[in-house]
Structure 1
Amino acid sequence: MDVAALYTFAWQHAHRVPEPLQRAAATVAADLTWWRHGAGVRRLEANYARVRPELDARALRRLSREGMRRYLRYFREAFTLQGADPDQIAARVRVEGEENVRPVVEAGGSVVMALSHCGNWDLAGAWATPHLAPVLTVAERLEPAALFTEFVAFRRSIGIDVLALGDDGVFRDLVRGAEDGPRLLPLLADRDLTARGVEVDLCGHRARVAAGPAALALATGAPLLPVGIFHERLHGERRRRAGSAWGTVIRFLPAVPVPAVEDRGEQIARLTQAWVSVLGEFLVERTADWHMLQKVFVDDLDPERYARTKARAGEA
């Protein structure tokens, strides 16, 4: 199967399918995937169980069903986003906490944002570039290479500039981007994809997340904001203008304070824990919007592989 060709076809043609039919197809696909209860769904439920330990097995299954529906909704919206006009994008997005970010960018500064895999971050970025400041981010390099090329082209078509994780000079380019403000630098950081992550407490459990947001904020002096993104149902006039039954809420939370310690490694660790603590509260509130079908908690990782990861990072 040519995955790149399938994704390209979806990006080019999905927006031509009537929205009610899109919704129905995505819901059926999500429910079928949930019903099969494969490895991804089981991992989603395991992650939800750590965030929401008060739920029994039945409630957890209901929550994972809603989580899968929102996960497939994200893909449906992403595939059709290129067909949305600026007025539709503006109608689909509602912002909370704008006062935490707008004064900085209006003064010419940049903002580093720590994101989780929640809601529709592509729609959030498509809204942010024309309404706040240009968006520069980092994405995992996908395979095959043609798929990543199409993915980058898609992101750039909606106003999001993308650097490839693992390429030489990525951090340097992020620093330069921040210094050439105003600019928003959102980084999906609730899962460490390198050997340089930080072990933190997330909802009472040890987890390993990316160090990038904290390191970039310290290197540039830009404020570090945790950002929560989640879906909401639309009604009435706003639904008509959006051309969609669902919208996205971007919650800009207050910047986390820089810890008053001299050691840079300790600063990164404490600053990372600060935004993760805020993220944990958001995940408890909006658990079904968390599209985390991979292992993120330390107790779920292979002990030997994790020991090697920590050794490569120079940790005890």
Structure 2
Amino acid sequence: MGAAQDKLVDGLYGLGWAGVKKLPEPAAVALGHRIADYVWKRRGKSVLRLESNLARVVPDATPEALRELSRAGMRSYMRYWMESFRLPTMDPKRFGTDVEMKDDHILREALATGRGVVVALPHLANWDLAGAWATGHIGVPLTTVAERLKPESLYDRFVAYRESLGMEVLPHSGGAAFGTLARRLRSGGLVCLVADRDLSASGVEVDFFGSTARMPAGPALLAQQTGAVLLPATLYYGDTPKLFGRIHPEVAVPKNGTRVEKTAVMTQALADVFAEGIAEHPEDWHMLQRLWLDDLEERAQ
């Protein structure tokens, strides 16, 4: 990406942050639908990839049903962006009314132990809003990791945005994130990680909807090395303005096995919970990139 394109991309995101948050909420929702439908009708690479991914989640769907599902998926994805642009100006009191988290007592009780908590979740619905709910409603500082985006100024916008919601944001690259996360957990802190895609060499292979994918080892390794509680979480929108979610029971560290074996078992357990949540609400899974290994192999050929 050249300097001119970097500047254009950053300018467009800046326009979104500056403009969308000033719109009345119904107008922002309507704008999101129009943009989503326009992108969906163009049938670009992202839309086709979303449909391909959803075909694995709903293998019995007809081509017509799959297209409608991808349309709903693009609307859900754009809703994420419209909400995210508006989050910094939202009254924190709304986090308690606009987010309905089932079994949140599991999270509260885990935090009360002082062991530290790792919440791992997939790209479902609005994970930023869920993070804002944790910091604003539960009142717990939260640390997360963000991939460095290009241009750098765009990454800086994302960091500033999440920090404005009470989150500590660490860069994914550079190698220091894991140590900082471990220190936060040993202090009894809360770490939230989006954990349904990792194409690096350190990714753990899991069975996911009947095929092999890679997911990050980080959540399982952090739980093993710090004694933190590892909790999966899933989110969805539904037919209301609310964000819904569920905190699932702890994924415990196995008593036997090597570190690699324990990590594989724990990451597969996360993948199984993620698959359950995605299957229930596939339209809210914002996976517009290649995920399964055989899809990556096709691209390499």
In structure 2, distance between residues paired with 1:24 and 1:261: 53
Question: Which piece of structure 1 moves more, 4-13 or 77-86?
Answer: 4-13
Partner residue, 1:80: 86
Question: Which piece of structure 1 moves more, 4-13 or 276-285?
Answer: 4-13
Displacement, 1:110?
Answer: 1.6
Instruction: Identify the match of residue 244 of structure 2 among 243, 249, 255.
Output: 249
Determine if contact 1:114/1:227 at 8 Å carries over to the other structure: yes
Determine if contact 2:206/2:214 at 8 Å carries over to the other structure: yes
Q: Deviations over 1:83-116 (max 9, x none)?
A: 1111223221101011221112123332111111
Q: Which amino acid in structure 2 is aligned with residue 222 of structure 1? A: A
Question: Which piece of structure 1 moves more, 126-135 or 297-306?
Answer: 297-306
Unaligned regions of 5+ residues in structure 2, if any? none
Instruction: Identify the match of residue 54 of structure 1 among 46, 56, 60.
Output: 60
Does the alignment pair 1:280 with 2:275? yes
SS of match in other structure, 2:244: strand
Determine if contact 1:209/1:296 at 8 Å carries over to the other structure: no
In structure 2, distance between residues paired with 1:278 and 1:121: 16
Q: Which amino acid in structure 2 is aligned with residue 67 of structure 1? A: G
Moved over 4 A (4+): 303-306
Instruction: Identify the match of residue 186 of structure 1 among 189, 192, 198.
Output: 192
In structure 1, distance between residues paired with 2:286 and 2:175: 29
**Percent identity over the alignment?**
44
Q: 1:153-232 to 2 correspondence within 5 Å?
A: 153-181=160-188, 183-232=189-238
Determine if contact 1:257/1:271 at 8 Å carries over to the other structure: yes
In structure 2, distance between residues paired with 1:17 and 1:304: 41
Q: Which amino acid in structure 1 is aligned with residue 283 of structure 2? A: A
Instruction: Identify the match of residue 264 of structure 2 among 269, 277, 297.
Output: 269
In structure 1, distance between residues paired with 2:12 and 2:41: 24
Q: Deviations over 1:62-89 (max 9, x none)?
A: 1111000000000000001111111223
In structure 2, distance between residues paired with 1:23 and 1:169: 39
* TM-score of the aligned structures, taking structure 1 as reference length: 0.89
In structure 2, distance between residues paired with 1:161 and 1:53: 39
In structure 2, distance between residues paired with 1:205 and 1:185: 29
Q: Which amino acid in structure 2 is aligned with residue 290 of structure 1? A: W
Q: 1:24-43 to 2 correspondence within 5 Å?
A: 24-43=30-49
Instruction: Identify the match of residue 94 of structure 1 among 89, 96, 100.
Output: 100
In structure 2, distance between residues paired with 1:51 and 1:109: 35
Determine if contact 1:11/1:82 at 8 Å carries over to the other structure: no
Q: Which amino acid in structure 1 is aligned with residue 187 of structure 2? A: D
Q: Which amino acid in structure 1 is aligned with residue 132 of structure 2? A: A
Q: Which amino acid in structure 2 is aligned with residue 16 of structure 1? A: K
Determine if contact 1:202/1:276 at 8 Å carries over to the other structure: yes
In structure 2, distance between residues paired with 1:104 and 1:115: 17
Question: Which piece of structure 1 moves more, 286-295 or 131-140?
Answer: 131-140
In structure 2, distance between residues paired with 1:11 and 1:113: 27
* TM-score of the aligned structures, taking structure 2 as reference length: 0.93
Displacement, 1:305?
Answer: 5.6
SS of match in other structure, 1:229: strand
In structure 2, distance between residues paired with 1:115 and 1:289: 13
Q: Deviations over 1:133-190 (max 9, x none)?
A: 2110101001111111111000000111110001231100000011112x22111111
In structure 2, distance between residues paired with 1:233 and 1:94: 13
Instruction: Identify the match of residue 118 of structure 2 among 112, 132, 149.
Output: 112
The CA RMSD measured in Å over matched residues stands at: 1.6
Q: How many residue pairs end up in the alignment?
A: 294
Determine if contact 2:235/2:277 at 8 Å carries over to the other structure: no
